[in-house]
Amino acid sequence: MNFEKIRAYCLQKKAVTEGFPFDENTIVFKVMGKMFLLMDINEIEISVNLKCNPELAIALREKYESVQPGYHMNKQLWNTVYYTGEFPEREFWEMIDHSYDEVVQKLSKKTQQELANL
């Protein structure tokens, strides 16, 4: 797993943009202007912050040592996921998909419709 693979996966999703709103090291992926993934591009160990349903966030933390409460984020809604090989790659992509979907579900109905029309 590497930064470019994660970046490509995020950018293939509908209406995703990338940027560096905080500093030159932290890349942020947004859907319709709302964050769903943050990642330090200079870290050797791959880790991402992902939005998560609160109940699922707790379940994932209990299941995997490499899933922790979101670093510098709302601990109820965000997880920091370290890609250590503890879980299958497929599950990592599913966590990213879930984060994207969580953000889309919280968009206003108008914005959701705009997204659907893209």
Q: What is the pLDDT of residues 31-75, one digit of tens each?
A: 999 999 999 999 889 999 999 999 999 999 999 999 999 988 999
Name the nearest CA neighbour of 5 among 53, 52, 37.
37
DSSP characters over 72-111:
TS-TTTEEEEE-SSSS-HHHHHHHHHHHHHHHHHHS-HHH
Other beta carbons within 10 angstroms of residue 4's beta carbon come to: 9
Which domains occur in the chain, in start order? Answer: 3-116 (3.90.1150.30)
Predicted local distance difference test score (pLDDT) of residue 44:
87
pLDDT band at 26 (very low <50, low <70, confident <90, very high): very high
Say if residue 101's pLDDT is above 90: yes
Altogether, the residues listed in the chain come to a count of 118
Say if residue 15's pLDDT is above 90: yes
Rg (CA), the chain: 14
Q: Is the pTM of this model over 0.75?
A: yes
